[in-house]
Amino acid sequence: MMLDFSRQFASIREEVLGAIEAVCASQRFILGPEVARFEAAAAAACGVAHAVGCASGTDALWLAMAAVGVGPGDAVVTTPFSFFATVSAILRCGARPLLADIDAATYNLRPEAVMEVLRSASGVKAVMPVHLYGQCANWDAFGAMGREHGVMLVEDAAQAFGASWRGVAAGGLDAAAAFSFYPTKNLSAFGDAGMVTTQSADLDERIRMLRTHGMRRRYFHDEVGWNSRLDSIQAAVLEVKLRYVARGNERRRQLAVRYDELLRGAGLAGGSIAEGIVLPFTDPRAEHVFHQYVVRAARRDALREYLTARQIGSEIYYPLPLHMQAALAGLGYKAGDFPVSEQAAAEVLALPMYPELREDEQEIVVAAIARFYQ
């Protein structure tokens, strides 16, 4: 029940298969007309001037940072409470990741914690907030930080297609942004795919150059780029799904309100973790798209086991903060360095959330949680 892809596919089957068939008929599999069409439509949806399709969200992060000039000798500040790619993309640019703790209510990077890093570290070129679970990071604070401290801001908007901050859509909040269209995302491809957005024509040109081996002219390489193009077939699928994403996000928001009401109604959300579970917090300045609906529970692992035994899907995003990952031991952090992230990693639980989730299924989820706490 966590995520049933077949429900969405059933509703758009003919459109998607028709779009894939058109690519097969043209045999233009790399950067075909579907890619340009999807890029234009996605840019319009995000309210940005430019969108560049690429092979994954991870590549999109790397392309965005490389395009704004992050490279060896630079540092980039980000969150330890995210998917691994947030930090690995910084390393792949040859730069040094510096971490700062999160806000306990939104789970997003805490601006004051980033400011402490900016005061103590040198060489910080960029800050990369992640719009975790589909809610934009505090862009009042990050926007001001970019202007006042001369750092570039790159959004990790992998989980936030259609989200906004004070009416400005994710992807257009600052220099450049990265999206993922991994199959579990709210706008998803039939495989790996990603996109970088920017308002700058210069950055757009650089990103396009970097995604095709640093070529501006065929077989003349100005920089060492990468092969990170968006397949025409994926663009064709995305072009169809883009038509439905706003409606899907709206449904996610309705389902989130309904979860809140059902969980409160069952007496499970008394406000503190000691009294049951803590509901997601929505910042009134942010339009949340509920890519994930995430609650907190003190006995999270036992609750998850209980739900799993009853065939109720749930997921932990993420069980181990990035500063404690074996692969990132070289960063020099240790357990205890980011206590808010560490506590979140021990307590968060994502409940089933996707536009096709049925209301009776939501009731089953909440009833099971209620039985666990009886």
Ligand X SMILES: Cc1ncc(COP(=O)(O)O)c(C=O)c1O
Interface contacts to ligand X, rule CB under 6 A? 56-58, 82-83, 85-86, 130, 156, 158-159, 180, 182, 192, 194
- Least gap, CB of 209 to ligand X (angstroms): 21
CB of residue 242 to ligand X, shortest distance in Å: 16
Nearer to ligand X, 129 or 225 (CB): 129
Sign of CA dihedral 197, 201, 205, 206: negative
Nearer to ligand X by Cβ, of 89 and 297: the residue is: 89
Least separation in angstroms between CB 137 and ligand X: 11
The count of residues in the chain is 374
Identity (one letter) of the amino acid at 139? W
Give the amino acid at 364: I
Closer residue to ligand X (CB): 169 or 366: 169
Task: Please report how close the Cβ of residue 60 comes to ligand X at its closest, in angstroms.
Answer: 7
Query: To the nearest whole angstrom, how small is the minimum distance from the Cβ of residue 275 to ligand X?
Result: 30
Give the integer Cα–Cα distance in Å for 48 and 51. Answer: 7
- Tell me whether residue 57 or residue 352 sits nearer to ligand X (CB atom): 57
CB of 122 to ligand X, least distance (A): 26
CA quadruple 200, 133, 288, 169: dihedral, nearest 10: 10
- Roughly what angle, to the nearest 10 degrees, separates helices 232-265 and 5-26? 170
Strand-pairing partners, residue 53, are 195
Cis-peptide into 293, omega within 30 deg? no
Q: Which of residues 93 and 369 has its CB atom nearest to ligand X in the complex?
A: 93
Q: Which residue is nearest to ligand X (CB)?
A: 57
3-state class of 277 per DSSP?
strand
Please identify, using beta-carbon distances, which residue of 86 and 362 lies nearer to ligand X.
Answer: 86
**Phi, psi values for residue 148, rounded to 5°:** -85, -25
Chain centre distance of CA 256: 18
